Amino acid sequence: MGVSGDAERLLQHGGNLAAARRLYPRAPEPWIDLSTGINARAYPVGALSEASWRRLPEENAALALEDAARRAYGAPESACVVAAPGTQALIGLLPLLAPAKRVGILDFTYSEHELCWAGAGAQVETVDSLDALGGFDHAVIVNPNNPDGRLVPPPALLALAERLAARGGRLIVDEAFVDFLPPEASVAPLLPPSGMIVLRSFGKAYGLAGLRLGFALAGAAEAARMRRALGPWPVSGAAIEIGLRALGDALWRDEARARANQDAGRLDEILRAAGFTPAGGTPLFRWIRCADAHGAFRRLAGAGVLVRAFESQPQALRFGVPTGEAIWQELARRLTMAGL
């Protein structure tokens, strides 16, 4: 696969259907976009109040949203929660708030962490062990990891955070895809240890990525710096209203978790039948192995199925999880069309 122009855009992030259509103009429409890890079953938003659009958000409403997030994520009352317009905004903000000379990142993972730290002037290194991370100024762990689903147990994260904090460092834990895993997979209930900042995505689990809402869980000092940097009204009135509604809906969350796990298992079966080897992932995406991933990516794209390929991982692909019986049937048909 080439790495320039539209091909490069497809390697950087999922969801870029415009670039895919330009590269594969003869692909059947509509495309089946499995290039992201966003829940295909979105939370039913319902009607919003007129005030959510017409008025600036009230401070007490924003604080209520942050408290709803804290409770939904199982964090204790002593943990501070900061709402932001998506976790990507927080990923870009942290290098400016806590500068570092050397930053370690665990494993091949979401590339924006490296890009943002390097853009702020840090020397960034990817390592393959927790022990190695202890020698850096700050460390970043995506947990579960995107794109392969690797999971570090929370007690190990706490030990690393304490090791870094003793040297004035920070551990940033990106839990963007933890929502549909068992509760004990998240480190949020164990907060706030010194030196740890946890990022949580709203849009992925709730299928509302376009809302641009995310949260940071941190100690009081770090939370105060983030609030000052984000300024007043960091999230919209609509985001507050929808977030309050969704985060308080434990029944929907439990049902969505069960459905996502069931759908992930169904996708694994379909991918095995197509000759792929499921090798990890989360309930919102599957990580597969195949001998020629880039060739399979091109065949899939030619059949109108967009997945994620990675320049440095020529034997792996990431598939988002579809939903809806018609989509499942069409996916099976297009896998056959692609010769898989």
For the ranges 5-14, 179-188, 313-322, the lowest mean pLDDT is seen at 5-14
Point out which residues pair with 173 in neighbouring strands: 141, 198
% the chain with pLDDT above 70: 97
Encode pLDDT of 183-229 as tens digits: 999 999 999 777 899 999 999 999 999 999 999 999 999 999 999 99
What Cα–Cα distance (Å) separates residue 47 from each residue in 44, 147, 210, 251, 324?
9, 35, 17, 19, 24
On the 0-12 / 13-18 / 19+ scale of CB atoms within 10 A, 52 is: middle
CA-CA distance, 180 to 189, in Å (whole number)?
A: 15
pLDDT, mean of residues 251-275: 97
The predicted structure's pLDDT at residue 6: 66
Encode pLDDT of 99-113 as tens digits: 999 999 999 999 999
**Global pTM value:** 0.95
The predicted structure's pLDDT at residue 11: 67
| C-alpha 243 chain-centroid distance | 17
Nearest CA to 161 among 199, 125, 127, 187?
187
Radius of gyration of the chain (CA): 20
For the cut 60, the answer to whether the pLDDT of residue 15 exceeds it is yes
Place of tokens 């501070």: 80
Nearest CA to 62 among 233, 250, 246?
233
The predicted structure's pLDDT at residue 2: 44
More confident residue, 340 or 229: 229
Give the chain's domains with CATH numbers. 5-30+252-337 (3.90.1150.10), 51-248 (3.40.640.10)
* Assigned token pair, 250: 């434990």
More confident residue, 11 or 153: 153
For 85, phi and psi rounded to 5 degrees?
-80, 65
* Assigned token pair, 323: 């939903």
For the cut 70, the answer to whether the pLDDT of residue 275 exceeds it is yes
